[in-house]
Amino acid sequence: MAGPPKRGGGAKPSPSKSFKPKPKSDASPKKKFDNKPNRDQGKKPQAVKREGSKDNKKPFTDNKKFADKKFTDNKKSFTDNKKSFTDNKKSFTDKKRPREEEDEAKQQFQPRKVSKPNYEMVTQSKFLWEKVRAQSMDEKERQTHLIELIELIRGKIPEIVEKHDASRVVQTCIKYGTESQREEIFLELKPRLVEFCKSQFGHFLVAKLLKYIPKQRSTIINMFKGSFKILLKHKAAYGVVESMYCQYATNKQKKEMMYEFFGSQVAIQNTGATPKTLTQILGEVNDAQKTIVLNNLRDNLKKITEKGAPLVRNTMVHALLLEYFKNDLFSGQEEMLSNMKETLIEYVHTKEGAKVGVHCVSIANAKDRKVIIKGMKGYMIQAAKEQYGHVVLLRILDVVDDSILVEKSILFELTKDLRDLSFHPYGRMALLFILSPRKPAYFSPATLELLQPPTVPQVDETGQVTMITNYKKTPETRRDALLSKLSPHLLRFCTDNVRDMLYDEFARSVLLETLVNAEGDKEGLIKVLVQRAITLVGREKNEDDEKKEEGLSPSVVNVLKSCIKNNNDFASTLADSIEEVEDWIGEDSVAILILCLLDNPSSQAKIQKKLKPHAKKLNKSEGKIIALISEKMK
């Protein structure tokens, strides 16, 4: 049945899924009406047509107009933006560049520069300096320019050496000059040499004189007598004093440099005499003078240690501190320690400084040791790899009772880079000290002497002084706590790096001690190590090996011997894994491993059973080791 015709005429639209007419009812939803006011008040408001219908064409027309308008607005906006960009570019171009501003600033200060003394001479000398210092310059041509340069600055050198650019000019003259030219410059600078040492740029010149004029080194050092106590506290001059003390001074001159810190009387009496230590000097004076000398030394060192780095890095300061701690046993050590505990890491780079560091850790209480460890945080690996400083780390591991503090602050850092430590001649010492403490095979007598149990004085009720050990836990208790924390990391590392560690002269000791002394499950490490031993003896190459097989060297044989002697599980597993025993008794260098297996009770029966079929071959062999094996088989 056909519906009512649409207003305005036309055919009936076909029904679609999106719009279906519904029957009229009271419950049907209300139709939407236009919000615009109806001009014809008498007419019924029209319903809004859905978009997309055939009769509703007006919305599409409106959309097109809206799109055209939007495009026009965007085009206009783009034109405005382009114009704005052009204006900004023009304004940016109008601005002065940094180089132009710098040139203008130079021109403003140019009159002031010209008015300074020796301006023209310094400018000309820098022009010649550029030619002299060129590495590609021919020696003859360089000498020609150098003669001209020295002629230009002659007589004015002391006036210009404190300037940053002119100081470099004079340093170059000393570096490339002849012996006579260097002597000429030295004689001109000689009256004010101590003054230049405290200059920001002049102290470099003094260092150059010490380096390139060896004949005048003693003269220069003697010129500084009476000034070392002041220069050692100066941030510019302390480096020159370091060079004098470490590189150029003789043993006698070193002692005379130190006398100034003991007091003027000591310096006057002992200058020119046979060099003496502080202990020898104190043995020659009475108690009152002894107190004066120690007080002078303590006051001078206190001023330096209070300033901290970089002054405390000086080797001479370390030597003075060591002398002080050796002789002032009770009175001022705690006060000196309070100045040093936060920066103790700065002292461990020299032999004397390491001894001072060990002494500070030994006499410190629990709180001070905590501050010392906190100051070394972030530098544990560097300290462990120091030639002398690693002993300070060993001392901390040896005497600190707070194992949790040591674990979180020290072991946490060390376990991050076990490879770097294990393959380092000094870095491995911290690991070996926990695995096998004080083993003479790894630690020298001098190191063991430094690591003697620490003692501090204690005054009882009667006023008598007794020496007591400065820790509460026993060394075994501390070592067991650290070993339990370190062992899992070492076992995992050694298992993954057996091949590399066997061939490294330092890492193989860590591998051996881990196998023997570490706590935990060693089955994985034993299995990998046994497989490596069989591969080496049988001359077989693993497919995974990228490097060329290095063979069974004597050092590797010694490690395997120690593993067999000290670990029964390894010996038993190796005896079970040997299939072709003939490869093991061909040469003495390999047969010694079989001899070790026969000496170990856990592997003796197993290896004898495998050797019985080859008894005749053993009897015919001429090797000494094989002869010993044959005797044990009988």
Matching residue, tokens 């004085």: 457
Of 454-463, 473-482, 617-626, minimum mean pLDDT range? 617-626
Task: Provide mean pLDDT across the span 374-384.
Answer: 93
Q: Residue 67's pLDDT is what? A: 54
- The answer to the question of residue 131 being in a domain is yes
- The answer to the question of residue 146 being in a domain is yes
Domain boundary among 187, 217, 247: 217
CB of 511 closer than 8 Å to CB of 502 = yes
Q: pLDDT of 269-325, one tens digit each?
A: 877 778 888 888 888 888 899 989 999 999 999 999 998 888 899 999 999 999 999
Q: Residue 608's pLDDT is what? A: 87
Q: Residue 544's pLDDT is what? A: 45
Q: pLDDT of 191-224, one tens digit each?
A: 999 999 998 899 999 999 999 999 999 999 999 9
The residues facing 5 across adjacent strands are none
Q: Residue 97's pLDDT is what? A: 62
Evaluate the CA torsion angle 513, 519, 520, 523 in order and state its sign: positive
Q: Residue 116's pLDDT is what? A: 67
Q: Of the segments 463-472, 493-502, 617-626, which one has the largest average pLDDT value?
A: 493-502
Q: Residue 325's pLDDT is what? A: 92
Containing structural domain, residue 594: 521-541+549-633
> Does position 119 have pLDDT exceeding 80, yes or no?
no
Task: Provide mean pLDDT across the span 504-518.
Answer: 94
Q: pLDDT of 233-268, one tens digit each?
A: 998 899 999 999 999 999 999 999 999 999 888 888
Task: Provide mean pLDDT across the span 541-562.
Answer: 69
- The answer to the question of residue 358 being in a domain is no
In this prediction, residue 2 has a pLDDT band, given cuts at 50, 70 and 90, of very low
Domain boundary among 173, 199, 217: 217
Q: Residue 148's pLDDT is what? A: 92
Domain boundary among 150, 183, 217: 217
Task: Provide mean pLDDT across the span 39-68.
Answer: 50
- In this structure, what is the dihedral angle of CA atoms 408, 409, 412, 414, given to the nearest 10 degrees? -150
Which amino acid, one-letter code, is at 300?
A: N
CB of 204 closer than 8 Å to CB of 233 = no
In this prediction, residue 13 has a pLDDT band, given cuts at 50, 70 and 90, of very low
Of 95-99, 191-195, 347-351, minimum mean pLDDT range? 95-99
SS (H, E, C) 223-242: HCCCCHHHHCCCCCCHHHHH
> Does position 383 have pLDDT exceeding 70, yes or no?
yes
Q: Residue 110's pLDDT is what? A: 57
Q: Residues 6 or more apart from 495 whose CB is under 8 A from it?
A: 524, 525, 528
Task: Provide mean pLDDT across the span 329-339.
Answer: 82
> Does position 107 have pLDDT exceeding 60, yes or no?
yes
- The answer to the question of residue 123 being in a domain is yes
Residues 268 and 293: their CA atoms lie apart, in Å, by 13
If one counts the domains in the chain, the total is: 2
- The answer to the question of residue 454 being in a domain is no
